[in-house]
Structure 1
Amino acid sequence: MLKHMFVTGTDTAVGKTVVARALLQHLAASHFTTVGYKPIAERNLMTAEGLRNHDALVLQTSSSLERPYSDVNPLLLTEAAAGCFTGAAVDYEAMSRGLRHLSALADTVVVDGNCGWRAIMNDYRPYSEWVIRERLPVVLVIGIKLGCISHAKLTAEAILNDGLPLLGWIANRINPGLAHYAEVLGVLNHIMPAPKLGDLPYLPRAEQRDLAKFIDFSPLNIVAQHTA
């Protein structure tokens, strides 16, 4: 059983959270108990319940296991701190405690990262250091756009060079007007060092849809093992 998977992307705004929703829904349809996890979030909005992050709310509603918001997103950066790289300490231990807590409750925890693989935290350290420390298997989201082939190859190489398993990659059609979409997928199928696990079409309001059917875990055989 795959206890964790970390969702990273070739860049920011490539649809990591939408893909995380699809993963959660697909695993739940295969009778896994699932929960999404956003260890640290920025771009938060004040609501009647307090600060909330949009991506974390999507993960919360996409999980088969109902958990309070504080479980799904333990650390929220204020707008004043987000992206300012002040050198302030990041509570990585709180991120790890949250992961262990959810891991004890669910079959699989889908962890939604921030930006790309080498995203820099406020303390100037890459987010990937925490992922490496936790030994999380990685799913790479490739937003299909100009330049994505180079970004995908470089990101995959970095993940593997960091000693982590790259479970596979998922194409997300973020630009419906992009020409030669099939050709881009053909190149990625040929050069990527891990299998394709899904192909999400361009969908308005994708974060409100059932996306399970766009994921294919057959190359990993984990769903078959779980339902056997």
Structure 2
Amino acid sequence: VGMKPVAAGLIEHQGQWVSEDVLALRAASTVVVPAELDNPVALPDAIAPHLAAERAGRTVTVAELLAAHRTLRAQADVVVVEGAGGWRVPVNDDETLADLARAIGAPVVLVVGLRLGCLNHALLTAEAIRADGLALAGWVANAIDPDMPCREENIDTLRRWLPAPLLGRVPWQA
């Protein structure tokens, strides 16, 4: 089953407000679960989770996200958790999504948005993942800039520098 603990930015789908990422995770999941488990926090505004939560008048805690994850673990052999906004993105004034990842303790797949600055961003994130005591299982090259110069050279650099295998590539999509 897929899980998007915090989704910021919703669309209307079949009369309900939902994240496009959550819809994709549900389509790929083999276990159907209630929305409060696969997406315990759905926030309307497509901004950083802690800011979206503040605008929505609610507080998000790692404890509530972890509780939903534990329930999912009891219902599925594997739970694939998709982050939101990056490794150190705050979910409240004191906690980040990295705190949730540490509590879960699962290996991490890093998605690298291929654009100017991605080398530094990916290497710093991999370093933070290791510093937080988690394994970097692999990484995915996501072509988010259709005109990125030296895309292949950047991917080759990341292959040499990241301490994990390239698991796949997502081509640019309009």
Mind listing any 5+ residue stretches in structure 1 that lack a counterpart?
1-34, 205-228
Equivalents in 2 of 1:141, 1:201: separation in Å? 13
Q: TM-score, normalised by structure 1?
A: 0.66
**Structure 2 match to 1:203:** 173
Asked whether the equivalents of residues 88 and 123 of structure 1 are also in contact (C-alpha less than 8 Å), the reply is no
**Structure 1 match to 2:126:** 156
Q: TM-score, normalised by structure 2?
A: 0.84
Question: Which of 59, 64, 71 in structure 1 is aligned with 2:25?
Answer: 59
**Structure 1 residue 47: Cα displacement:** 5.6
**Structure 1 residue 88: Cα displacement:** 5.9
Residue 82 of structure 2: SS of its match in structure 1? strand
Query: Residues 191 and 98 (structure 1 numbering): CA distance in 2 closer, same or farther, change over 3 Å?
Result: same
Question: Which of 134, 137, 162 in structure 1 is aligned with 2:107?
Answer: 137
Residue 115 of structure 2: SS of its match in structure 1? coil
Map 1:159-174 → 2, pairs under 5 A: 159-174=129-144
Query: Residues 113 and 140 (structure 1 numbering): CA distance in 2 closer, same or farther, change over 3 Å?
Result: same
Mind listing any 5+ residue stretches in structure 2 that lack a counterpart?
none
Give the CA RMSD over aligned residues. Answer: 2.5
Aligned length: 170
Equivalents in 1 of 2:12, 2:142: separation in Å? 30
Equivalents in 2 of 1:96, 1:85: separation in Å? 17
Residue 119 of structure 1: SS of its match in structure 2? coil
Relative contact order: is structure 1 or structure 2 higher (C-alpha 8 Å, sep ≥ 6)?
A: 1
**Structure 1 match to 2:164:** 194
Equivalents in 2 of 1:52, 1:36: separation in Å? 14
Q: Deviations over 1:104-153 (max 9, x none)?
A: 22222110111011101233422211211221211000011111001010
AA matched with 2:92: N
